[in-house]
Amino acid sequence: MTFAFISALGMAVPGPDVVLAITNGSRYGVRHAFFGMAGVVLSDIVLICMVALGFGALLVASEFYLSAVRMVGAFYLLFIAVGALRSSTESRHAFDPGFPDKAHATKALIVRCFVVAVTNPEAWLFFPAVLPPFVDSNEPIAMQYAVLAIIIAAVDVFVLMLYATLGSRAARLLAGPNAVWIDRLYGIALLGLSSVLILQSLGHL
């Protein structure tokens, strides 16, 4: 319960994952936003495996490699931000029944959220700091990390679902041509996050 509470606090803090959840909810609805949440859960599994194998602590201990992760994440966020700022109302219907390439849109949503989550430097700092205290070295390690992975995945989906619902309701209030302003605000938010990450990376490289 303590781990679930800490995880919920960490996920609830606005960041790239939250911004994506809100935007996915506004663009595609809560049901399809779950594809993006699946990408975040996949990143959780990768990061937990890295911590279990000891690579998380090595990355955190190296300012150079942590800054490199920041830079990769920052430029990917910048890429998404530019796309959002250039979007139009016609680009908001990727999951409509008549959309010609719905499968491609689904995969793109999963990949986008996975890359954003796995290159989030805050996650690389959070997992190595939070996971080890909840692991008993006298018990089977793999099973304990598996349980922690299930807990954090459930917490992430729950929190992101709340944000996706918020985005979906905001889109209903701004139905029609005005809905594109959600993308504009989303792009500005990601642009700000990417700028902060770039400045942090340059300060440590």
What local confidence, expressed as pLDDT, does residue 126 receive?
82
Q: For residue 84, which of 180, 192, 176, 187 has the smallest C-alpha distance?
A: 187
Whole-number pLDDT of residue 98: 45
Helices (H), the chain: 2-12, 16-28, 30-52, 55-61, 63-85, 102-118, 121-130, 141-173, 180-204
Give the pLDDT confidence of 17-29 residue by residue, as tens digits.
888 888 888 888 8
Note if the pTM is more than 0.85: no
Half-sphere exposure of 196 (CA within 13 A, CB side): 11
Give residue 201's pLDDT band: very low, low, confident or very high (50, 70, 90): low
CB 16 within 8 A of CB 190: yes
Question: How far, rounded to the nearest angstrom, does the alpha carbon of residue 46 sit from its chain's CA centroid?
Answer: 13
Region 194-198: mean pLDDT is 77
Percent above pLDDT 70 for the chain: 78
- pLDDT confidence tier of residue 109, bands split at 50, 70 and 90: confident
pLDDT of residue 204: 55
38 pLDDT higher than 90:
yes
pLDDT single digits (tens) 146-187:
999 999 999 999 999 999 998 888 777 766 555 566 667 777
